[in-house]
Amino acid sequence: EVQLVESGGDLLQPGGSLRLSCAASGFTFSGFEMNWVRQAPGKGLEWISYISGGGGNIYYADSVQGRFTISRDNAKNLLYLQMNNLRVEDTALYYCARDGGYGLTLDYWGQGTLVTVSS
Amino acid sequence: DIQMTQSPSTLSASVGDRVTITCRASQSISIWLAWYQQKPGKAPKLLIQKASTLESGVLSRFSGSGSGTEFTLTISSLQPEDFATYYCQQYHSYPLTFGGGTKVEIK
């Protein structure tokens, strides 16, 4: 059974840093591209970052470019999101999501981890 | 970036109703369109990929159609468990983008 479990969410002040983790199981992690998607309270879904299976290709949304860094450890089946210079508008539930492969999209999602940025 | 526009934003319907949600892309995305269902406090659940391919386990009352820039999600006979928010998402190119969502409420 495919499982994605996020962790690391917290309450912090603007300008702070945080690292989120997503533990994957039930599939060959290195064979799948992964993404982070967030959802602000009461709002819609916003894609924020992508990483290829080997980690060589990475994309970011403009809203986080230069502040967030996606990475993965295929030996440990872990996906990360390093978040720096956090802003109030980064407050959201952060989901990791698996890309199902060629011609497919975000087929499995974790339950999310909450990041709150407030002074 | 490709903009995705969903309508309506809210839909009030009764059990047994046929419901249609529309999603428009700002440029052609071929068939690279997915639909998700999200219930309160839960992660989005993938219903449909490639505009019309139902995910395994998704009931046949859900259907998707369209290509290019115009897409629809249809629920043929609304059931109590279908009251939720639905999102479309294009995966023609990054950045992936989502529609604003359609909340299906009980009438």
Tens digits of residue pLDDT in A96-115: 999 998 878 899 999 999 99
**Which pLDDT score is estimated for B50?**
97
By Cβ distance, the residue of B32, B45, B97 closest to A47 is B97
Q: How many other CB atoms are found less than 10 A from the CB of residue B44? A: 25
Q: Which residue of A has its CA nearest to B6?
A: A44
- Give the pairing type, strands A45-51 and A58-60: antiparallel
Tens digits of residue pLDDT in A65-77: 999 999 999 999 9
**Which pLDDT score is estimated for B43?**
98
**How far, in Å, CA of B55 to CA of B71, rounded?**
17
Query: Is B89 close to A45, i.e. CB distance below 8 A?
Result: yes
**Residue A45 main-chain phi, psi, to 5 deg:** -90, 140
Query: Is A44 close to B98, i.e. CB distance below 8 A?
Result: yes
- Give the pairing type, strands A3-7 and A18-25: antiparallel
Asked if A113 and A96 touch (Cβ cutoff 8 Å), the reply is no
Tens digits of residue pLDDT in B37-86: 999 999 999 999 999 999 999 999 999 999 999 999 999 999 999 999 99
Q: What is the amino acid identity at position B1? A: D
**Which pLDDT score is estimated for B107?**
86
Q: Which residue of B has its CA nearest to A106?
A: B46
**How far from A77 is each of A44, A102, A112, B50, CA to CA, in Å?**
28, 21, 17, 28
A114 CB within 8 Å of a chain B CB = no
**How far, in Å, CA of B8 to CA of B73, rounded?**
12
User: Dihedral of CA B40/B44/B45/B46: which sign?
Assistant: positive
Tens digits of residue pLDDT in A32-90: 999 999 999 999 999 999 999 999 999 999 999 999 999 999 999 999 999 999 999 99
Q: Which residue of B has its CA nearest to A61?
A: B95
**How far from B102 is each of B9, B17, B25, CA to CA, in Å?**
4, 16, 15
